[in-house]
Amino acid sequence: MNDVNKLMAVRFKAAQLRPYFATALFAHDLVPVRHPSMPHMGIDRHGRIYVNPDLIGSASANSQTESVWNVRDCALWMIRELGHWLRKHAERAEALLRAYPEVDPPTLRAVINLAQHLELNDDMEREFLGIPSLWEFPEPFGVPPHKLFEEYVQIFLDRLRAGDPDLEKQLQDRLGEHPSLEFCGSGADGAPAPWELPPPDGQSGLGGPTGDLIRRGAAQQIERLPPGAVPAGLRRWAHDQMQTAKVPWEQKLASALQQGVTIVRGASDYAWQKASRLYPLTGVILPTAVGSLPQVAVVVDTSGSMFDKQLGQCLGEVDGIARAMGQQAFPVFATDAAVHGGPQWVTGASQVQLLGGGGTDMGEGIRAALETHANVIVCVTDGDTPWPESLPHDVQLIIVLTRFRYQADDMLHCPLPTYAQEVIRVAIEEEECD
* 268 belongs to a structural domain: no
Tally helices (H) and strands (E) across the chain: 14, 11
CB 94 within 8 A of CB 113: no
- Best-predicted range by mean pLDDT among 81-85, 132-136, 199-203? 81-85
Same domain, 301 and 229: no
Same domain, 229 and 319: no
Whole-number Cα distances in Å, 389 to 29, 363, 367, 373, 396: 47, 9, 11, 18, 14
Tens digit of each residue's pLDDT (9 = 90 or more) over 33-70: 988 877 689 999 888 999 999 888 755 444 444 456 78
* pLDDT for position 413: 75
* CA nearest neighbour of 25 among 3, 10, 38: 10
Window from 117-121, 202-206, 361-365 with minimum mean pLDDT: 202-206
Compute the CA torsion angle 197, 201, 205, 209 (nearest 10 deg). 150
Q: What CA–CA distance (Å, rounded) separates 169 from 191? A: 24
Residue 28 has pLDDT above 70, yes or no: yes
Mean pLDDT within 400-429: 79
Beta strands 339-346; 330-335: pairing state: antiparallel
Tens digit of each residue's pLDDT (9 = 90 or more) over 128-172: 767 777 788 888 888 998 888 888 998 999 999 999 888 888 888
User: Cβ of 88: how many Cβ atoms within 10 Å?
Assistant: 16
∠226-231-237 over CA atoms, to 5°? Answer: 90
* pLDDT for position 407: 58
Q: Which residue has the higher pLDDT, 275 or 333?
A: 333
* pLDDT for position 326: 74
Under the banding of pLDDT at 50, 70 and 90, the label for residue 211 is confident
Q: What CA–CA distance (Å, rounded) separates 225 from 247? A: 26
- How many residues does this entry show for the chain? 434
Under the banding of pLDDT at 50, 70 and 90, the label for residue 308 is confident
* 262 belongs to a structural domain: no
Residue 84 has pLDDT above 90, yes or no: yes
- Best-predicted range by mean pLDDT among 126-135, 244-253, 376-385? 376-385
* pLDDT for position 327: 62
* pLDDT for position 66: 46
Whole-number Cα distances in Å, 377 to 121, 321, 365, 404: 46, 11, 10, 23
Same domain, 85 and 201: yes
Under the banding of pLDDT at 50, 70 and 90, the label for residue 180 is low
CB 42 within 8 A of CB 81: yes
Same domain, 178 and 307: no
Residue 365 has pLDDT above 90, yes or no: yes
Window from 73-87, 205-219, 258-272, 420-434 with minimum mean pLDDT: 258-272
For helices 71-86 and 208-223, what crossing angle results, to 10°?
Answer: 120
* pLDDT for position 232: 79
Same domain, 335 and 414: yes
Same domain, 177 and 317: no
* 170 belongs to a structural domain: yes
* pLDDT for position 268: 43
Per the structure, the count of domains in the chain is 2
SS3 assignment, position 379: strand
* CA nearest neighbour of 339 among 296, 376, 378, 302: 302
Under the banding of pLDDT at 50, 70 and 90, the label for residue 434 is very low
Beta strands 269-275; 396-404: pairing state: unpaired
Residue 19 has pLDDT above 80, yes or no: yes
Q: Which of 200, 223, 241 is the last residue of a domain?
A: 241
Beta strands 41-43; 48-51: pairing state: antiparallel
* pLDDT for position 129: 62
* 306 belongs to a structural domain: yes
Domain that includes residue 379, residue range: 296-433
Window from 12-16, 47-51, 276-280 with minimum mean pLDDT: 276-280
CB neighbours of 238 closer than 8 A, spacing ≥ 6? 218, 219, 220, 222, 223, 230
* pLDDT for position 78: 95
Whole-number Cα distances in Å, 323 to 186, 251, 313, 314, 380: 36, 12, 15, 14, 17
Q: What CA–CA distance (Å, rounded) separates 169 from 210? A: 41
Same domain, 112 and 37: yes
The CATH number covering residue 374 comes to 3.40.50.410
Residue 425 has pLDDT above 60, yes or no: yes
Q: Which of 211, 241, 271 is the last residue of a domain?
A: 241
109 forms beta bridges with none
Question: For residue 190, what is the DSSP state?
Answer: S
* pLDDT for position 408: 61
Same domain, 65 and 175: yes
* 321 belongs to a structural domain: yes
Q: What share of the chain is helix, strand, coil (3-state, %, to 5)?
A: 45, 15, 40
Under the banding of pLDDT at 50, 70 and 90, the label for residue 266 is very low
Under the banding of pLDDT at 50, 70 and 90, the label for residue 199 is confident
* 284 belongs to a structural domain: no
Computed over every residue of the chain, the mean pLDDT equals 81
Same domain, 414 and 318: yes
Same domain, 198 and 308: no
* 146 belongs to a structural domain: yes
Residue 181 has pLDDT above 60, yes or no: no
Same domain, 322 and 414: yes
Quickly list H helices, 126-259: 149-161, 165-177, 186-189, 208-223, 232-241, 249-258
Compute the CA torsion angle 34, 36, 41, 47 (nearest 10 deg). -70
* 246 belongs to a structural domain: no
Mean pLDDT within 170-189: 75
Mean pLDDT within 271-278: 47
- Rounded CA Rg of the chain: 26
Q: What CA–CA distance (Å, rounded) separates 259 from 399? A: 16
Same domain, 309 and 195: no
Mean pLDDT within 380-388: 93
Question: For residue 404, what is the DSSP state?
Answer: E
CB 262 within 8 A of CB 332: no
Q: Which residue has the higher pLDDT, 98 or 400?
A: 400
* pLDDT for position 296: 92
Q: What CA–CA distance (Å, rounded) separates 111 from 406? A: 36
Q: Which of 173, 208, 241 is the last residue of a domain?
A: 241
